[in-house]
Amino acid sequence: MLDETSEVARRENIDELSDVLFVAQKMGRRLANATHGDAYANVRELNEFLHQARIRLLNAQEVA
């Protein structure tokens, strides 16, 4: 079990990473809106990856 200081640091890291992923998702949506043709599939895949990463992070937060 993590001591209280480690747990606080862990939660802060999760919160900060969640914020970064939120911003990355927002930027990914803007990129998708500006992307056309063959590149769009890659941008869509990137956005799905960012979405899944944020979900996994939130799940990790709930487990602790």
The tokens for 41 are 């599939």
DSSP one-letter code for 64: -
SS3 state at 2: coil
DSSP one-letter code for 1: -
Residue 64's pLDDT is 60
Predicted confidence (pLDDT) at residue 1 exceeds the cutoff of 70: no
DSSP one-letter code for 36: -
Residue 34's pLDDT is 95
Torsion of CA 22, 28, 30, 35, to 10 degrees: -170
How does pLDDT run across 4-55, given as a tens digit for each residue? 899 899 999 999 999 999 999 999 999 999 999 989 999 999 999 999 999 9
User: Where do the domains of the chain lie?
Assistant: 16-63
Say what the pTM is. Answer: 0.79
Residue 4's pLDDT is 86
Predicted confidence (pLDDT) at residue 62 exceeds the cutoff of 90: no
